Amino acid sequence: MFAKSWVKGLTRFSFTEIFIPLIIVAGSSLWLSGRSTSLLLFIKFTLCYLMMVLSLQVFVGNSGVLSFGHGSFAMVGAFVSGLATAPLVIKQHAMSLSNLWQPLVDFKLNLGMSLLASAIAGGVFAALTGGFLMRLNGLAAGIATFALLGITYNILFNNNHIGPSNQALPGVSQFSSLTLPLVLVLLAMVLVYFYNLSRLGRTLRATREDNMASRGLGINIVRVRWMSFMFSGLLAGLAGAMYAHVGGAVQVQDYYLGFTFFTLAMLIVGGSASLWGAVLGTIVVSGVSQILLMWEQSTPVLGVTIHLPIGTRAIVIAGMLVVILLWRPNGISNGNEFKLPNFLSKIKVS
């Protein structure tokens, strides 16, 4: 029943739907990153955003419940991985870490293990909070997840026993190349695709389409949402850690309102109901944002220089979001996975 064609999102495996997005992400990342150092940095940050948008797609896209709380899981993941990889001398002598809890001073992992720890931390935090939040629906759920973001931010911003408080944690180990963040994102794309294909993903989409009918069929909506929330929290924790390892520092402000609304805008612009929508939205919004940022700094783009006032980027992205919500609420992808053009799909190999 849940695999009917009118239910938005993935219902059966298609090689094209997963292979082409993987090729687009890998190919564009490798090609652009080799052109300049600044583009390499841009691609690394874009991959971090894509990981975060994938985490949002898993829950928001499949459940239809808007969540502002995923920035909390990114914060936790960033702090875990940052503290695990920061040099001991910094944790012992930095003024911002003078009151750091001693077990955290001694906490040390290599880059790979710290990324795993950050993902687990994000998933565990989502599991603990999701047990309560997943009982809510609609506006109440959105407000509650926003409250979770605010609580997590204020605890980490004001408590110097578990981190640098309102200061930055420097010395976080950085990705030496594009390989590791790219591999992590490609792996996450495959996992998200097959999660959407799974019985759990299809059941969650069924609750999105008709909540009352799902209850009547015996679906435990709280349990199904909780499992999705936990998986998405795992990806969000990993996204936060990746962001820290690209920037080489951890600062709680980096994961608050700006980060939250920027990644939600990517999901909504691309289309929340599909993996392809998450990829497309991240590419479009990141590209527009980078071009506008360069013009705000009077830097030429393909030989064109436009002197834009500071703040134009935020206004344009907000405007894009409004336009999409008004005239194409299912996003650029219309909530569908990648499809070949009709004239190509009809070509048969003899």
Mean of pLDDT values over 79-97 = 89
Instruction: Please give the model's pTM, rounded to 2 decimal places.
Output: 0.92
Which band of pLDDT confidence, cut at 50, 70 and 90, is reported for residue 270? very high
Q: Cα Rg for the chain, rounded, in angstroms?
A: 20
Give the whole-number percent of the chain exceeding pLDDT 70. 94
- Whether residue 8 has pLDDT greater than 60: no
Mean of pLDDT values over 74-100 = 90
Mean of pLDDT values over 315-325 = 93
- Whether residue 348 has pLDDT greater than 90: no
**Mean pLDDT estimate for the chain:** 90
- Whether residue 50 has pLDDT greater than 60: yes
- Whether residue 4 has pLDDT greater than 50: no
The secondary structure of 200-211 as a DSSP string is HHHHHHHHHH-H
Sole residue written with tokens 């564009």: 28
Q: How many other C-beta atoms are found inside a 10 Å radius of the C-beta of residue 308?
A: 17
Give the whole-number percent of the chain exceeding pLDDT 90. 69
Between 83 and 5, where is the model more confident?
83
Spatial neighbors of 60 by CB under 8 A, at least 6 apart, are 66, 67, 264, 267, 272
Between 15 and 146, where is the model more confident?
146
Residue type, 169: L
What pLDDT, on a 0 to 100 scale, did the predictor assign at position 28? 95
Q: Tokens standing for 20?
A: 């082409």
Sole residue written with tokens 């841009």: 42
Least confident among 66-80, 146-160, 209-223, 274-288: 209-223
Mean of pLDDT values over 263-283 = 95
Q: How many Cα atoms are found within 13 Å in the side-chain-facing hemisphere of 102?
A: 0
What pLDDT, on a 0 to 100 scale, did the predictor assign at position 210? 73
Rounded-to-integer distance, Cα 46 and Cα 53, Å = 10
Contact 171, 90 (CB under 8 A): yes
The secondary structure of 146-173 as a DSSP string is HHHHHHHHHHHHH-TTSS-TTS-B----
What pLDDT, on a 0 to 100 scale, did the predictor assign at position 3? 40
Backbone phi and psi for residue 304, each to the nearest 5 degrees, phi listed first: -105, 125
Give the Å distances, CA to CA, from 165 to 19, 157, 314: 42, 5, 27
- Whether residue 2 has pLDDT greater than 50: no
Q: How far is CA 104 from the centre of its chain?
A: 26
What pLDDT, on a 0 to 100 scale, did the predictor assign at position 78? 96
Query: For 315, which DSSP code?
Result: H
Least confident among 53-57, 249-253, 300-304, 323-327: 300-304
What pLDDT, on a 0 to 100 scale, did the predictor assign at position 13? 80
What pLDDT, on a 0 to 100 scale, did the predictor assign at position 303? 83
- Tens digit of each residue's pLDDT (9 = 90 or more) over 194-221: 999 998 999 999 888 777 777 777 788 9
- Residue among 268, 233, 265 at smallest CA distance from 74: 233
- Whether residue 67 has pLDDT greater than 80: yes
The ranges assigned to domains in the chain are: 15-254
- Tens digit of each residue's pLDDT (9 = 90 or more) over 225-263: 999 999 999 999 999 999 999 999 999 999 999 999 999
Least confident among 134-143, 179-188, 213-222, 323-332: 213-222
- H or E element at residue 274: none
- Residue among 288, 276, 291 at smallest CA distance from 331: 276
- Whether residue 113 has pLDDT greater than 90: yes
Query: For 97, which DSSP code?
Result: G
